[in-house]
Chain A
């Protein structure tokens, strides 16, 4: 089966600029996750969707980050305006259902963002 797709793979912007990332999950996967992975750290969940509804966005910096999954399939994550500390790899993942003991999350290749 085709995996989780993300674009772009790399992005370099200057601070205070805006940037958007796109994710296409595995077909049929109801749950979609966006993670931020700063160098030397493990992935940190930013937001989680079940179909087109938000399940958890408690760690999303809502003053600058936004995400949507309007039709319950593709998703976009936006940062506006970007700060230096937003430099990280942004990972998208999907799963058939909400996370649980048996649920496997499938990850995309990530988008590496550098903010100068």
Chain B
């Protein structure tokens, strides 16, 4: 069964501190993973995808097939990073989302 697990419902860090949002998946095929973000009063939008191997707004995520993880990291959190973050797995044609982690960056 395809499943995406985000173990933390809420993560609170201080501005300038490193942040790591955890995502674990279960999938029998070759996984295609994404991070989507929803800022307050805005639409859900793509943050990054594993295939691009890029850094967006200072965030990176590495696919670790051995640990079946796709954790989202940023070395120095900013207040504007406060948002809801969803990890998503493309299983066939559909996106399977985790429950999300609310990130709060405090000054």
Contact = CB atoms under 8 A, between A and B. Distances in A.
10 contacts: A4-B43, A41-B100, A42-B97, A44-B97, A56-B94, A99-B92, A99-B94, A100-B32, A101-B49, A106-B45
A43 interface: yes
Interface in A60-116: 91, 93, 98-102, 104-110
A69 B76 CA distance: 45
Contact of B99 (A42, A56, A99): A42
A56 to B, nearest CB: 6
B49 A42 contact: no
Given A48-B94, A99-B92, A107-B43, 16 more contacts: A3-B43, A4-B43, A41-B100, A42-B97, A42-B98, A44-B97, A45-B95, A55-B93, A56-B93, A99-B90, A101-B32, A102-B51, A102-B52, A105-B95, A107-B45, A110-B43
Q: Interface residue tally of chain A, by bracket?
A: 20 to 34
Contacts of A106: 45
From A55, A93, A99, A102, residue with most partner B Cβ within 10 Å? A99
A93 B46 CA distance: 12
Nearest to B86: A42
B44 interface: yes
Interface residues of B, number: 22
Nearest to B98: A42
B43 A108 contact: yes
A40 B99 CA distance: 7
Nearest to B46: A104
B94 A105 contact: no
A108 B3 CA distance: 24
From B45, B88, B93, residue with most partner A Cβ within 10 Å? B93
Interface in B11-47: 32, 43-46
